[in-house]
């Protein structure tokens, strides 16, 4: 079933058939449309041929015997260029700008030049500055453009064009309205696709914003938050090439969500990207149990960062006199000297790196002590020998002073700098000294420490005095296996303890290396569904991007996590203070107007002061509700899903229900996803069956959950209300 959009097509001149029906077309208009399609087909054929030649050339270079002689950076660049061209087969060309000065620029997935580096671009990369008017020019602000053309393709074939005059003769609410609404009306496949051909101005402004600090993007359902975040990654990697050397981290709310968006960035040609959830950021650590919302909220508070810092600081060795044995002799390092070495080693360093710095100083101190003791011994020997000589001289009537001046040189016992350095090297490689340092300043494991801490109420009370006795009792249960709220605490401890960075294997892509390194520092971090992060999870983000080049997108009104914040200021204050920039997406592209009209009362019940985003399209299908008894639910749900699938052939159907009804529904609905409201966050289907909305509102932060559940569909919403 397809419904006509309630909006006018908004285009002029050449136009393809609008979604949902046919419009009468004169022969002249049809001929003009056909001519435009033929013109763009000719260009697409030319661009495709050029893409193929470049890809073949890169493939030959990558497979040649000379590749091994190239620098690793050059090899990675060639591989990335080849992958970008290889993935650009679909949607290679999607737009055109006709300038007021007569210039014509085609916009595409990648940039292409004709033969010769000095030639004009054959195809302008959508991320390049020259392409920006394609997304931002309007009749009021044409930015030097006379016309914008959206080009729709299927594989290698141009199937339609939409022209928008920018000379003020016609205005449209949306950029490329015809192309956009056609894309929105397409069936969902369960995998997110790119949207580079239909990005809107407010989206493009965020995509191209400076990456100099945290950018927090508020956007309601269907406003394209995820699309904006992912295309921002592609834009930043294109614009700031050095960022690819550090990689970009994309944090999503769930593995299902990451699978859903998994093809977007590779399709845009980007490979220097690591995707993860907060639960999977620590290599080798997995969440193995659920935890109550009460405990999760307590463990998510920012106070744990300072508490864990105090905890690790308490584990540092205390200054004392050290007595070390070297080559059969004992040497004493004074407590005052040890204290100075400790203070110097600890400054700003994690526990294990401070130990390494202290050990290096200890090797020097011991070498000096050995040298000083040897010098003292030699001086004693020399003085004793001189006494003997003096007595002999006196007995023989000689002048001892004359004897001393006649010897030519004295043996002073001093070691040369080279000898002392050799001694220090031998001390540093000595296993006995290493065992002494290990015993005095032992290696610690973050997991062992956290388990010990969370089962010791007295210790918890000392390091986290802000916690009440009741809260300490709540968190001090046996923490094995790990819960989701333990991961940020583990990460904080691992960071405070420190670790040695492993070298990157030769030829390895930066993303593969970064994925295995807990302490990797990224060039940029994108957080989707950011409203769900606890204060300690935000600390995880900051550790991975101390430059604070962070883009966080979400909807504060869809927050369902255990934390208590209800505004972005509350959510990020502990991590960023007031040093962050706010942006907002206000237009709902996904959810039809008929459904969005249901959300205002739900938001009010959720305690929100925000207005829902403005829907710009209508599906023509009114939401419906069916009342059933609990005994009838399974059968009625199966019939409703079957009917929805028949109405939306080739599309997708999703079922959302309270957590306590999911298993029952999964037993009879094996061919469609059955999820809780939280699990459905960020996903979309052509049609949604919402089961027991009252049951969802009864869950913690249930009205927020209902807001999420209502807004997952692109066409049709059905509800099953239990009596």
219 is in an annotated binding site: yes
Closest CA to 93 of 128, 116, 122: 122
* 649 carries a ligand binding annotation: no
CA dist., res. 687 & res. 685, Å (int): 5
Indicate the burial class of 720 (C-beta count within 10 angstroms; 0-12, 13-18, 19 or more): buried
* Residue 194, marked binder: no
Helix (H) or strand (E) holding 359: helix 351-396
Residues 55/88, Cβ–Cβ less than 8 Å: no
239 among annotated binding-site residues: no
Alpha helices in 92-248 (DSSP H): 133-136, 177-184, 201-207, 225-239, 243-246
354 with 346: CB under 8 angstroms?
yes
- The answer to whether 407 is a known ligand-binding residue is no
DSSP characters over 607-674? T--SPPPEE----S---EEEEE-GGGHHHHHHHHHHHHHHHSTTS-EEEE--GGGHHHHHHH-TTS-E
- Whole-angstrom Cα distance, residue 11 to residue 170? 8
CA distances from 55 to 48, 52, 125 (A): 10, 5, 16
| Pairwise CA distance, residues 468 & 33, whole Å | 73
| 221 belongs to an annotated ligand binding site | yes
Q: Which letter does DSSP use for residue 530 in this model?
A: G
Annotate 555-575 with three-state secondary structure: CHHHCCCCCCCCCHHHHHHHH
711 is in an annotated binding site: no
Query: Cα(193)–Cα(350) distance, rounded to whole angstroms?
Result: 43
What is the token pair recorded at 16?
């393809």
Q: Is 697 labeled as ligand-binding? A: no
Q: Please state, in angstroms and rounded to a whole number, the distance separating the CA atoms of residues 533 and 541.
A: 10
108 strand-pairing partners = 93, 125
Q: How far apart are CA 490 and CA 537, in angstroms?
A: 11
Residue stretches of the annotated binding site for ATP:
219-226
Residue stretches of the annotated binding site:
219-226
């Amino acid at each position: 079933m397809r419904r006509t959009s309630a909006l006018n097509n908004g285009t002029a001149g050449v136009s393809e058939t609008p979604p949902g029906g046919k419009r009468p077309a004169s022969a002249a208009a049809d001929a003009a449309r056909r001519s435009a399609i033929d013109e763009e087909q000719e260009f697409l054929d030319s661009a495709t041929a050029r893409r193929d030649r470049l890809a073949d050339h890169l493939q030959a270079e990558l497979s040649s015997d000379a590749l091994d002689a190239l620098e690793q950076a050059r090899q990675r660049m060639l591989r990335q260029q080849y992958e970008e061209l290889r993935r650009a087969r679909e949607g290679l060309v999607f737009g055109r700008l006709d300038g007021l000065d007569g210039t014509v620029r085609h916009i595409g997935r990648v940039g292409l030049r004709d033969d010769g580096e000095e030639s004009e671009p054959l195809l302008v990369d959508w991320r390049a500055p020259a392409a920006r008017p394609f997304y931002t020019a309007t009749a009021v602000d044409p930015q030097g453009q006379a016309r914008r053309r959206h080009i729709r393709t299927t594989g290698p074939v141009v199937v339609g064009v939409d022209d928008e005059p920018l000379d003020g003769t016609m205005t449209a609410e949306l950029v490329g309205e015809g192309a956009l609404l056609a894309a929105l009306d397409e069936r969902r496949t369960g995998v997110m696709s790119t949207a580079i051909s239909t990005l809107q101005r407010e989206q493009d402004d965020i995509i191209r914003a400076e990456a100099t600090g945290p950018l927090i993007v508020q956007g309601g359902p269907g406003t394209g938050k995820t699309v904006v975040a992912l295309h921002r990654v592609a834009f930043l990697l294109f614009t700031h090439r050095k960022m690819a050397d550090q990689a970009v981290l994309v944090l999503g709310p769930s593995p299902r969500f990451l699978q859903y968006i998994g093809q977007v960035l590779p399709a845009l040609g980007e490979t220097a990207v690591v995707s993860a959830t907060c639960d999977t950021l620590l290599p080798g650590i997995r969440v193995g149990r659920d935890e109550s919302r009460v405990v999760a909220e307590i463990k998510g508070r920012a106070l744990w960062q300072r508490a864990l810092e105090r905890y690790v600081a308490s584990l540092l060795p205390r200054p004392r006199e050290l007595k070390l044995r070297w080559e059969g002799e004992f040497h004493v390092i004074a407590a005052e000297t040890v204290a100075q070495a400790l203070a110097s080693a600890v400054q700003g360093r994690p526990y294990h790196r401070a130990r390494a710095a202290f050990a290096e100083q200890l090797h020097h101190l011991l070498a000096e002590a050995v040298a000083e003791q040897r010098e003292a011994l030699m001086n004693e020997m020399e003085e004793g020998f001189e006494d003997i000589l003096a007595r002999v001289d006196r007995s023989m009537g000689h002048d001892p002073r004359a004897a001393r001046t006649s010897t030519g040189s004295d043996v002073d016992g001093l070691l040369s700098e080279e000898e002392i350095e050799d001694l220090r090297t031998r001390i540093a490689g000595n296993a006995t000294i290493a065992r002494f340092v290990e015993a005095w300043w032992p290696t610690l494991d973050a997991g062992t420490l956290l388990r010990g801490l969370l089962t010791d109420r007295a210790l918890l009370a000392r390091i986290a005095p802000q916690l009440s006795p009741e809260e300490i009792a709540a968190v001090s249960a046996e923490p094995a296996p790990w819960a989701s709220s333990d991961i940020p605490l583990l990460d904080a401890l691992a960071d405070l303890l420190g670790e040695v960075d492993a070298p990157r294997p030769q030829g390895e892509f930066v993303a593969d290396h970064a994925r295995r390194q807990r302490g990797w520092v990224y060039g940029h971090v994108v957080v989707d569904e950011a409203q769900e992060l606890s204060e300690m999870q935000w600390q995880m983000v900051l550790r991975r991007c101390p430059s604070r080049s962070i883009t966080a997108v979400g909807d504060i009104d869809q927050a369902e996590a255990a934390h208590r914040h209800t505004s972005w200021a509350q959510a990020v204050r502990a991590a960023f203070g007031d040093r962050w920039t706010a942006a907002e997406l206000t237009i709902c592209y996904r959810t039809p107007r008929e459904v969005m009209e249901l959300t205002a009362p739900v938001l009010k019940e959720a305690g929100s002061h925000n207005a829902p985003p403005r829907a710009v399209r209508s599906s023509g299908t009114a939401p419906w509700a069916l009342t059933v008894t609990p005994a009838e639910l399974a059968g009625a749900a199966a019939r409703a899903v079957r009917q929805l699938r028949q109405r939306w052939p080739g599309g997708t159907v999703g079922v959302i229900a309270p957590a306590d009804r999911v298993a029952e529904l999964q037993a009879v609905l094996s061919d469609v996803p059955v999820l809780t409201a939280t699990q459905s966050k960020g996903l979309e289907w052509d049609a949604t069956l919402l089961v027991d909305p009252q049951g969802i509102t009864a869950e913690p932060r249930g009205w927020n959950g209902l807001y999420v559940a209502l807004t997952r569909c692109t066409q049709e919403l059905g509800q099953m209300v239990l009596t």
